């Protein structure tokens, strides 16, 4: 009989995903820190009682903690937006989320025909980030039109996009090129929902900038602080050029560039924040440094730093590609919802929490849970005609 061994690295992954320290977990399951460390380094195996406590504390199924991976995954490093002051502890849940999103997409690729990721142009062939952004617009069939939903565009172009709440205060989004079993994916994971649609638009364009400018070129985790800051500024520049193309945006903003109320109307058309448009107008030379500072003071006076006009009217966009793929499998009878986590286990030897898969793929809560068969009793009322006499 094949013995399936406890996998300490899986315990470490689950603990980090739940943002627990070794001390937190030790206190929660009633053992010492040293013993948790032994479990994670495969120098000790938890008893059945302790294993039960681990399962309850970390909310991962028992099977997750046993066996070895049946897949090989390589990553070039993850690009984190707003991550200069974040800690390694804060990065770990994001890494696990990204890796498992790739694994789920790879599983779905066996049954669903997703769009192929486009071939990106060579950065060295372009004289500026502006020119490169315009080329990507042309490649995506956008010319110089406003982009109403960049998330949907990325999904249509074959990018893997997911939205999950790890409650990481310093993260808006993160992205990475990842290879699993020889298949290459570029994944963008959006963190939380506590921001405006317009901020989300720019964040996604920022991650697209990392794909164009930095993937297959830089390892973000190996960069010094100043190098990382420069890389982030390049991604921001790409996002501004991509969302607000020079010619069309200049023509619009040039009509009344010093009127902050006019930017509210521009926001309706260009679908990015007023702050981003003011910055773009300055970088294009449409407004002077002095005028830029005046507009910034007005923004602060009106308290638009955290909440601009229109921010509360439009909800953030949510990914649909993984959701539609799951629903296609279920609605066409390929699998029942509750069978999908088991099929992932069969293919990759990883049993993920059902609610975790549901969140990553954006399906309804309970969609992948086993549903008891509904037994319907039909009662036929027979009228006693004699009563009418």
- What pLDDT score was predicted for residue 264? 97
Using the predicted structure, report yes or no on whether residue 5 has a pLDDT greater than 70.
yes
- What pLDDT score was predicted for residue 245? 98
- What pLDDT score was predicted for residue 371? 76
Q: How many angstroms separate the CA atoms of 372 and 42, rounded?
A: 39
Using DSSP, state whether 199 is helix, strand or coil. helix
Residues 32-82 pLDDT 10s = 999 999 999 999 999 999 999 999 999 999 999 999 999 999 988 888 865
Q: How many angstroms separate the CA atoms of 230 and 223, rounded?
A: 10
Q: How many angstroms separate the CA atoms of 251 and 275, rounded?
A: 18
Using the predicted structure, report yes or no on whether residue 378 has a pLDDT greater than 60.
no
Is 8-65 a CATH 3.30.9.10 domain?
A: no
Residues 145-188 pLDDT 10s = 999 999 999 999 999 999 987 655 556 788 999 999 999 999 99
Using the predicted structure, report yes or no on whether residue 2 has a pLDDT greater than 70.
no
Average pLDDT for the chain: 91
Listed residue (24, 4, 146) closest to 65, CA to CA? 4
- What pLDDT score was predicted for residue 338? 96
Using the predicted structure, report yes or no on whether residue 211 has a pLDDT greater than 70.
yes
For the chain, how big is the Rg over CA atoms in Å? 25
Tokens of 331: 């609605």
Q: How many angstroms separate the CA atoms of 64 and 50, rounded?
A: 15
- What pLDDT score was predicted for residue 166? 62
100 and 356 in contact (C-beta within 8 Å)?
yes
Q: How many angstroms separate the CA atoms of 213 and 124, rounded?
A: 10
- What pLDDT score was predicted for residue 69? 93
- What pLDDT score was predicted for residue 374? 62
Average pLDDT over residues 176-204: 92
Per 3-state DSSP, the chain is made up of helix, strand and coil in percentages (nearest 5) of 50, 5, 40
Task: Indicate the pairing of strand 183-191 with strand 160-164.
Answer: parallel
51 and 131 in contact (C-beta within 8 Å)?
no
What band does 279 get if pLDDT is binned at 50, 70 and 90? Answer: very high
Domain boundaries along the sequence of the chain: 8-65, 73-244
326 and 364 in contact (C-beta within 8 Å)?
no
Average pLDDT over residues 194-218: 93
For 231-244, the DSSP string reads HHHHHHHHHHHHHS
219 and 76 in contact (C-beta within 8 Å)?
yes
Which residues are paired to 183 by β-bridges? 180
200 and 189 in contact (C-beta within 8 Å)?
no
CB-based burial label for 89 (10 Å; 0-12, 13-18, 19+):
exposed
CA 368-106-221 angle, 5° bins? 110
Could you tell me which residue, 376 or 348, shows the higher pLDDT? 348
Tokens of 50: 């302790």
Average pLDDT over residues 201-215: 96
Listed residue (91, 106, 137, 120) closest to 216, CA to CA? 120
- Give the C-alpha distances (Å, rounded to integers) separating 312 from 153, 196, 306, 309, 320: 23, 7, 11, 8, 22
What band does 388 get if pLDDT is binned at 50, 70 and 90? Answer: very low
Using the predicted structure, report yes or no on whether residue 389 has a pLDDT greater than 50.
no
- What pLDDT score was predicted for residue 385? 47
Using the predicted structure, report yes or no on whether residue 376 has a pLDDT greater than 60.
no
CB-based burial label for 386 (10 Å; 0-12, 13-18, 19+):
exposed
Residues 217-248 pLDDT 10s = 888 888 898 999 999 999 999 999 999 999 99
Using DSSP, state whether 307 is helix, strand or coil. coil
Average pLDDT over residues 20-40: 96
What band does 103 get if pLDDT is binned at 50, 70 and 90? Answer: very high
- What pLDDT score was predicted for residue 75? 87
Listed residue (310, 253, 264, 317) closest to 287, CA to CA? 253
Listed residue (80, 299, 301, 317) closest to 198, CA to CA? 317
- What pLDDT score was predicted for residue 94? 82
Could you tell me which residue, 244 or 84, shows the higher pLDDT? 244
- Give the C-alpha distances (Å, rounded to integers) separating 93 from 4, 20, 163, 171, 187: 26, 10, 13, 11, 15
- Give the C-alpha distances (Å, rounded to integers) separating 219 from 83, 94, 95, 222, 224: 15, 17, 14, 6, 11
Give the length of the chain. Answer: 389
Tokens of 299: 């923004």
220 and 78 in contact (C-beta within 8 Å)?
yes
């Amino acid at each position: 009989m094949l013995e399936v061994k406890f996998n300490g690295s899986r315990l470490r992954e689950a603990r980090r995903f739940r943002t627990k320290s070794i001390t937190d977990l030790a206190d929660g399951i009633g053992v010492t820190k040293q013993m948790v460390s032994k479990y994670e380094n495969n120098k000790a195996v938890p008893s059945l009682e302790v294993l039960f406590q681990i399962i309850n504390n970390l909310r991962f199924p028992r099977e997750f903690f046993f066996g070895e991976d049946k897949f090989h995954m390589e990553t070039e490093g993850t690009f984190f937006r707003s991550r200069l002051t974040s800690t390694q502890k804060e990065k770990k849940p994001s890494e696990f989320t990204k890796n498992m999103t790739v694994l789920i997409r790879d599983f779905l690729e066996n049954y669903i025909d997703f769009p192929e990721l486009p071939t990106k142009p060579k950065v060295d062939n372009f004289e500026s980030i502006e020119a490169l952004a315009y080329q990507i617009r042309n490649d995506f069939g956008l010319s110089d039109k406003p982009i109403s939903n960049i998330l949907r565009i990325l999904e249509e172009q074959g990018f893997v996009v997911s939205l999950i709440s790890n409650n990481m205060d310093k993260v808006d989004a993160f992205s990475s090129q990842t290879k699993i079993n020889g298949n290459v994916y570029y994944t963008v994971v959006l963190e939380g929902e506590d921001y405006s649609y317009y901020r989300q638009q720019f964040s996604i364009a920022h991650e697209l900038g990392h794909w164009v400018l930095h993937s297959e070129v830089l390892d973000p985790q190996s960069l010094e602080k100043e190098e990382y800051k420069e890389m982030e500024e390049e991604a921001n520049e790409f996002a501004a050029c991509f969302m607000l193309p020079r010619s069309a945006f200049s023509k619009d903003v040039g009509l009344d560039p010093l009127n902050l109320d006019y930017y509210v109307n521009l926001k309706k058309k260009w679908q990015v924040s007023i702050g981003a448009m003011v910055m773009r107008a300055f970088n294009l030379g449409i407004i002077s440094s002095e005028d830029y500072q005046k507009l910034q003071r007005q923004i602060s006076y009106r308290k638009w730093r955290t909440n601009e006009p229109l921010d509360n009217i439009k909800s953030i966009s949510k990914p649909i590609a993984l959701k539609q793929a799951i629903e296609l499998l279920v609605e066409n009878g390929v699998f029942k919802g509750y069978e999908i986590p088991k099929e992932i286990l069969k293919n990759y030897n990883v049993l993920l929490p059902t609610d975790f898969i549901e969140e990553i793929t954006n399906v309804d809560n309970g969609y992948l849970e086993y549903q008891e068969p509904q037994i319907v009793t039909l009662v036929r009322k027979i009228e006693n005609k004699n009563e009418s006499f």
